[in-house]
Amino acid sequence: MLVPGEPNISYICSRYYRAPELIFGATEYTTAIDMWSVGCILAELLLGQPLFPGESGVDQLVEIIKVLGTPTREEIRCMNPNYTEFKFHQIKAHPWHKIFHKRMPSEAVDLVSRLLQYSPNLRCTALEACAHPFFDDLRDPSACLPNGRALPPLFNFTAQELSGASAELRQRLIPEHARQEN
């Protein structure tokens, strides 16, 4: 568990899924690093290959910049306030619709774009990601597994898991039929 104010290590996580703040050497980070990894994994599932296949830490950052563009000074400050070196060529972000196949569901692309933000505080939280329209089919009361069996319980969140979630987020996250069951 991450403890606020307690230093952590920056060399954590498999390279392809490593959040940019870790590449910038941040030792104070949040679970937003995990949400970056989720975005990388979702993109890889959709593309059939890693989105950021860096061969080293520096190359990893280059791969990220090729897609997201050069981070602004403010984005770098959000990732690691102690990082003062800023000597990057200005590269524009690559549009998501050019990265993903044009038949890719727009909800999938939108979720990836919300997870892969330079600023950790702008990334979706885990609950926000679960409430994203990409997962709306799972909230349909008639949704079932491909073999026709019922879905396992998906909405039985604990009070601790929902602590801090707004009423609006809870409303989007848990469908009416699941609220009536609890």
How far is Cα 152 from Cα 145, in angstroms, rounded to an integer?
9
pLDDT of residue 84: 66
How far is Cα 75 from Cα 78, in angstroms, rounded to an integer?
5
pLDDT of residue 10: 44
Strand extents, DSSP E, the chain = none
Tell me, yes or no, whether 120 and 131 share the same domain.
no
Q: Let me know: does 53 contact 63? Beta carbons within 8 Å.
A: yes
Chain length of the chain: 182
Tell me, yes or no, whether 112 and 51 share the same domain.
yes
CB count within 10 Å of CB 77 equals 15
pLDDT of residue 82: 78
Looking at 104, 124, 144, the residue that finishes a domain is 124
Looking at 81, 100, 124, the residue that finishes a domain is 124
Predicted confidence pLDDT, tens digits, the chain (182 residues):
455 655 544 445 578 999 999 888 888 889 999 999 999 999 999 999 999 998 888 899 999 999 999 999 889 888 888 776 667 788 999 999 999 988 899 999 999 999 999 999 999 999 999 999 999 999 999 999 999 999 999 999 999 999 999 999 999 999 999 987 65
164, two tokens: 């801090």
DSSP result, 149-173: PBPPP-----HHHHTT--HHHHHHH
Tell me, yes or no, whether 96 and 162 share the same domain.
no
Tell me, yes or no, whether 149 and 88 share the same domain.
no
Tell me, yes or no, whether 37 and 95 share the same domain.
yes
Q: Fill in the DSSP letter of residue 73.
A: H
pTM for this structure? Answer: 0.87
Tell me, yes or no, whether 66 and 77 share the same domain.
yes
Tell me, yes or no, whether 117 and 136 share the same domain.
no
pLDDT of residue 88: 75
For the chain, how many structural domains are there in total? 2
SS3 147: coil
Q: Let me know: does 140 contact 53? Beta carbons within 8 Å.
A: no
Residue 144 sits at φ, ψ, to 5 deg, of -150, 170
Tell me, yes or no, whether 34 and 118 share the same domain.
yes
Tell me, yes or no, whether 151 and 109 share the same domain.
no
pLDDT of residue 5: 59
Look-up: residue for tokens 């409303």? 171
pLDDT of residue 135: 98
Tell me, yes or no, whether 79 and 4 share the same domain.
yes
Would you give the distance in Å from CA 22 to the centre of its chain? 15
Structural domain of residue 142, as residue ranges? 127-182
Residue 5 sits at φ, ψ, to 5 deg, of 85, -15
Tell me, yes or no, whether 18 and 108 share the same domain.
yes
